[in-house]
Amino acid sequence: MAARSKARKRALDVLYASELRGESATDALDRSIADGEGPSNDYTAVLVRGVEEHRARIDEVLTSYAEGWTLQRMPAVDRNVLRLGVWELLYATDVPGPVAVSEAMALVTELSTDESPQFVNGVLGSILRDRASLV
């Protein structure tokens, strides 16, 4: 597994766990760093901090593009993978759009339901198509 793929998976772990605990993902990340258990790849922190910084806009975009699904109704893994994917599509200048979509699909294929890859691909594909108007 490539370094950035591992960083995405670790960022997903932080986002998912912090959501379950009802705490900020940046607080969870900072605590793990302070405890010496922080991520070994800096991109994990970039992802977590980026998602948290832009979470309101990311969730607004997801709400608009996830037709028939509220954020609360989505499986938690899917919701957080989508947040990572939207952040990479809209804010990461060094990640090609198709790579962001592909990486998100790989995460949900491994960690979520059988229907998740198709759902994530559809949502992120539509956002990729329209991203120039979303930034």
Looking at the chain, the whole-number percentage of residues with pLDDT higher than 90 is 90
- Joined together, the tokens standing for residue 130 give 């329209």
Residue 4, phi then psi, degrees to nearest 5:
-70, -35
Could you report the per-residue pLDDT of 82-129, keeping only the tens digit for each?
A: 999 999 999 999 999 999 999 999 999 999 999 999 999 999 999 999
Q: Any idea where the domains of the chain sit in the sequence?
A: 3-134
Rounded Cα gap, residues 8 and 44, in angstroms? 6
pLDDT band at residue 40, thresholds of 50, 70 and 90? confident
Question: Does residue 76 carry a pLDDT above 90?
Answer: yes
Rounded Cα gap, residues 119 and 66, in angstroms? 8
Q: Which CATH class is domain 3-134?
A: mainly alpha
Looking at the chain, the whole-number percentage of residues with pLDDT higher than 70 is 99
